[in-house]
Homo-oligomer: A and B are copies of this chain.
Amino acid sequence: MNILIVSAHPEPASLTNALRDIAVDQLLADGHDVRVSDLHVLGWKAVVDRQDFPGLDPAERLRVPATSGAAFAYGTLSEDVVAEQDKLMWADALILAFPLWWFSMPAILKGWIDRIYSYGFAYGVGEHSDRRWGDRYGEGRLAGKRAMLIVTAGGWASHYGARGINGPIDDLLFPINHGVLFYPGYDVLPPFIIYQADRMDDDGFRATSGQLRGRMRALFTDEPIPYRRQNAGDYTIPSMELREEAAAPALTGFAAHLRS
């Protein structure tokens, strides 16, 4: 199978990148084809702006959905964006490896999403009618592929627990797992998370590496997070709210979007 790993740490010798390399090593050992986009090595442009759309009439407003949609449709997206979109289409699985900065991804990775998730490619795909509201949340151009996060966090695991002060890690990652990955169709695997990343010693790294190798061996067999599919009957259309038949009225929040 084909796997794309995108990493987003500025230090070549960081734990994030060391874990990325362990993942690559195991995937190659298992006979897969692997490509790596190290965003710092690529010198990735993080910011969506007018330079991305040189064909846009200077008199026209930059409306990101409309402008990126037209550029995608007419094949005028910039080369760096097209190259990453091509990698997404090539890959059977996508792995994002990054340090958790301020409870989200570093700007360079957010800018990778912002720039390559063009309208028509990652959103604005498919029929909008009274039966379907586009191909999203379980359907879309990237459906049938798998995705997974490798996250290094400086804080303690308990701070990210069900009653931890930072909020539960699964909820903090929901905007990424559900909103960025499930949205265009990926089946999303549970994340691989390291806490107190700055304090890891050699024994810890050996143990962690072994666990990560196990996750890589199971990349195509582990069960994905059971998010509800948008167009499979659980949601009203077009208001896109959970039907009472699908989920008891008292059930709200992120957890309500998991199949029971």
Contacts and interface: CB of A to CB of B under 8 A. Distances in A.
Nearest to A243: B163
A49 B241 CA distance: 42
A21 to B, nearest CB: 15
A144 interface: no
B103 A180 contact: yes
A167 B111 CA distance: 22
Nearest to A14: B61
Interface stretch (A87-95, A207-215, A249-257): A249-257
A114 interface: yes
Interface string A58-97: 0001111100000000000000000000000000000000
Contact of A165 (B11, B99, B159, B230): B230
A103 B103 CA distance: 13
A178 to B, nearest CB: 7
B159 A240 contact: yes
B179 A65 contact: no
B110 A106 contact: yes
A189 interface: no
A107 interface: yes
Contact of A110 (B107, B165, B239, B256): B107
Contacts of A111: 46, 106-108, 111
A11 B62 contact: yes
A107 B48 contact: yes
Contact of A164 (B10, B40, B180, B240): B240
A145 to B, nearest CB: 18
A164 B241 contact: yes
Contacts of A253: 162, 167-168, 171, 253-255
A123 to B, nearest CB: 9
Nearest to A252: B162
A125 to B, nearest CB: 15
